[in-house]
Structure 1
Amino acid sequence: MRPDRPGSGHSPGPGGSTASTASTASSIANTVATTTPPKSSSATKLRRAHRKSRNGCWECKRRHIKCDEARPACSNCVVSERTCSFPHNAVPSANGFVTASSQAAASAPPAGALRSPARSPAGSSPGSNTIYPPPHSLPPSAYGHRGFPMIDEAAPPTLPSFNEFFAGSPSASVTDAPKPPVFSAKHLILLHHAETAMPYTTSFMPPIINIAIEWSQQCPYAMDQLLALAADHLSLHSPESSLAHRRTATELQTRALMWFNHDTQENPGQPNDRICIPRFLFATLLSLHLLYETLTYHRSSYHAFIDKFIESTHLHRGVRTVIRSSYDIILDSPLRPFLLNFRAASETEYGGSECAELERIIESSDLAPATVAACKSACQTVQWAFNVHAILPPDDNIHAATAFPILLTAEYVEALRKNRPEALLVLAYYGVLLHRCRRSWIIGDSGSFLIQLIADYLGSFWQEPMRWPLQVLRTEQG
């Protein structure tokens, strides 16, 4: 029997009474806190040596780092999700490559005032190497066939960089070169645990471990993040050492982030550079780990969970940007079989209609057109995830659930930040998918927790739209 997960309690919101690695990888590949770390009060540190870049962007000049002069946005600004602009007299570098992302001039919009939902839902009513073939039990559905969700990020809001996201720890600053990686006997134990006792997918762990080992000297952040995930898994199975393993996981994740930030600034790389493979692996493992932490350790209240979930989407979007143009190289790596299988499942002509009623509720709401479009897009992404979950075999279908947070748009996240009921309903339907993946240690009972949390917050006024997620909790047990 799986050990209990920590922090399972939650308190109701104002509305009512108490009532795996590969999908992350494939999702990023296919689609591709806001303050800087406080300066020390001690003596001013010497600036890191760097070559002058006469034609570099303003942001790199301000940060005193070397700019690769790529247009329309340099790699440093793409990685850190900053607004990139060049002096008018700057001449584009012959070596600069054009990124797929253009930068927005404005920062992310401020969070709206929290409110308790009081509107009635208008018009709501009850409601291996072989490519996996679609099962015959799934009939074709015009609604269910969505294909792979695509995100229009022509002008994404400015989002925190990795170092800004983890700015709470002074050690996460990228202005200091991290120490050379040291792997101790403790880390060997974690690696052995990851290889022999950390179930996530039957076919994907060997290539993950092989890539992490192969690049452990040049790109140690991939290995560090793998070991951080293993430490958290070990904490579930060793209650007497749970705190120590959790502390180790945090230390390894922090070290991985430092190395990743340092590496991407010192060596931005080119689209055809194979260094994108360990960076891709790190990004997917970090996204997976962050999802686990959000679902497990932030359950004290509705606002504690939602705030953390929203915060984590910022990092997911930054991760997507890092490896956006490297899919062809990643596809030529040992990850190829799984990526092809997942892509085939995501493009199936077969699908369900779990979210059909939810989409009708969203379309008939009195939200602003832009918010309706954002919530509808998120609803269709949940349906896509349900379809992929039904297509993939039981050992691999968790990947559909871990893909969803990576595909969310900034507009939907903003609606979630403002506690729009329709946006919360989408999250409740996602809770159903999590509940169907509850046998995975990454997910556990988080689906049940999420559905009940949102039901408590929305209250009886939204009981009818919440009927199906709550019914699933009652009928799908075991």
Structure 2
Amino acid sequence: MDQKAPVTAGQKATQPRRTHRKSRLGCVSCKQRRVKCDEAGPPCGQCRTRSMKCEYASSKRSQPLPRTLPTPATGVSHSIGGAPSEVRYTSPVNTTPRLPSVSTKRLELELMHQWCTVSYKSICGNIESHYNVWQNVVPQAGLKYDYLLNGIFAFSALEIAAFAEDQTGSKEYINRAMEYQNLAITQFRSEIVNASSDQHQALCLMSSILIALGLGMARFQAEYTNTVDTMILLFELISGGGAILMSKADALQNDPVFKDLTPWEGLTAQDMSPIVRSAMDRLVQLNDSRHGTTSSTPRESVLQAISHHTTCRKAIFYLEECFTRCIGPETRGYMLGWMNMVGREFIQAIEQKEVVALVVMMHYGALMEQQSYDLWWIQDVGRHLVNELITELDHEDDENVKAAIAWARENSVPVRPK
């Protein structure tokens, strides 16, 4: 086997010297010991190994050097003293996550605490059998669906405002509630269009929260917002919730949250009090007299009268049902479904300020107020509704209308069950 020839002294002299990068930014300890510093400190590798104090002469080196330096001009990160690395440099705006401000995080923590300790009871009317759903199931679903989480924040903020002693603080929470409500509604509408099959529970829960929010907001906006208009908007919201229930009926039958809910047909009807019975009979008589026809009535007017009569009679019928089925703590929430039962034709009659429709709506406002005794988000809404409708009907000379106004004014007060 061939062997390499020995290197002579002359040959050794002609070999190139190995390059060496002199450390000029090394730590003080390495310089004193005259050893190479890796400049990775403080502490550097040498000081770390020997557990020595590591200091740099320049104040600019108070922090460790990064392993790579971004070079925006070329779009590539270069390693210190080496070849370009494969890490791409884009922009700090894109690489740094945008986190909510501390004040926002504290607010949302406060709002979630409010929900889990107080608001969950407020929204279900202190019915203990519903506590687990609203205290546990709803927040858990809110962690999955943003619209439900923002609905929780909106209702909690509104409740804090409702009981705030400081008016300035109350307005701040109302503003926050409106912001979260608007965001929740936008997200909710977007999700409804492309809702997956497993969202039936969250969508239905959100519908309930939005109804409570709509009524709760009406309490604070009564001074500069028409309550009748609010109820019309609420009709659209409740109709949307009803459509969700219908479309998800099969899934809801097996859902642990909704499967035990009693359907409307299963609610026990109680005897109607003589006072209420008299009021309902008066509404029927008013509807018959206002929308009655004779042989001389023009054909176009006959068709319109029949349409109005049918629409208002339907609304009166379901109002009678509400006065008998929805007057207890466990069932009063069902009265909100009246807005969906009456149909769009009745809402159009309200918008047209048809007299009988307004009088029927007034009686519904009285029912709402009667059943609001410990639901802050409904309290005063029915009373405001009655007062606004009285203003609309003050010019009427019909004795039935005057008697209906007097009844609604007298009975639009909370009535706590004995």
Match of 1:73 in 2: none
Of 377, 380, 391, 1:456 maps to 391
- Residue by residue over 1:246-302, the C-alpha shift from the partner in whole angstroms, topping out at 9 and shown as x without a partner, is 11111211221232233334x333xxx23111011111211221133235413447x
1:442 aligns with 2:377: yes
Q: Which has the higher helix share?
A: 2
How far does residue 437 in structure 1 lie from its aligned partner after superposition?
2.0
Match of 1:432 in 2: 366
Q: Contact 1:207 / 1:334 at 8 angstroms: preserved in 2?
A: no
Instruction: Note the residue ranges of structure 2 that are not aligned, 5 or more in a row.
Output: 1-97, 292-303
How far does residue 374 in structure 1 lie from its aligned partner after superposition?
1.0
Of 195, 202, 216, 1:292 maps to 216
Q: Contact 1:235 / 1:243 at 8 angstroms: preserved in 2?
A: yes
Match of 1:402 in 2: 336
Match of 1:235 in 2: 161
1:358 aligns with 2:283: yes
Aligned letter for 1:233?
A: E
1:308 aligns with 2:240: no
- 1:38-437 alignment runs, 5 A limit: 184-198=105-119, 199-200=122-123, 201=125, 202-203=127-128, 204-240=130-166, 241-265=169-193, 267-269=194-196, 273-300=197-224, 304-336=226-258, 339-340=261-262, 344-345=266-267, 348=269, 351=272, 353=277, 354-366=279-291, 368-390=305-327, 392=328, 395-437=329-371
Whole-angstrom distance in 1 between the partners of 2:246 and 2:164: 38
Aligned letter for 2:364?
A: Y
**TM-score normalised per structure 2:** 0.61
Match of 2:43 in 1: none
Q: 1:268 to 1:193 in 2, by over 3 A?
A: closer
Match of 2:403 in 1: 467
Alpha carbon RMSD of aligned pairs, Å?
3.0
Q: Contact 1:191 / 1:230 at 8 angstroms: preserved in 2?
A: yes
How far does residue 235 in structure 1 lie from its aligned partner after superposition?
0.3
Q: 1:208 to 1:406 in 2, by over 3 A?
A: farther
Match of 2:65 in 1: none
Computing the radius of gyration from Cα coordinates, the structure with the larger value is 2
Q: 1:195 to 1:466 in 2, by over 3 A?
A: farther
**Structure showing greater relative contact order (alpha-carbon pairs closer than 8 Å, 6 or more residues apart):** 1
Partner SS state of residue 461, structure 1: coil
Q: 1:188 to 1:402 in 2, by over 3 A?
A: farther
Counting aligned pairs with the same residue, the percent is 16
- Residue by residue over 1:25-64, the C-alpha shift from the partner in whole angstroms, topping out at 9 and shown as x without a partner, is xxxxxxxxxxxxxxxxxxxxxxxxxxxxxxxxxxxxxxxx
Instruction: Note the residue ranges of structure 1 that are not aligned, 5 or more in a row.
Output: 1-178
**TM-score normalised per structure 1:** 0.54
Q: Contact 1:455 / 1:463 at 8 angstroms: preserved in 2?
A: no
Q: Contact 1:296 / 1:446 at 8 angstroms: preserved in 2?
A: no
Whole-angstrom distance in 1 between the partners of 2:265 and 2:307: 29
Q: 1:348 to 1:181 in 2, by over 3 A?
A: farther
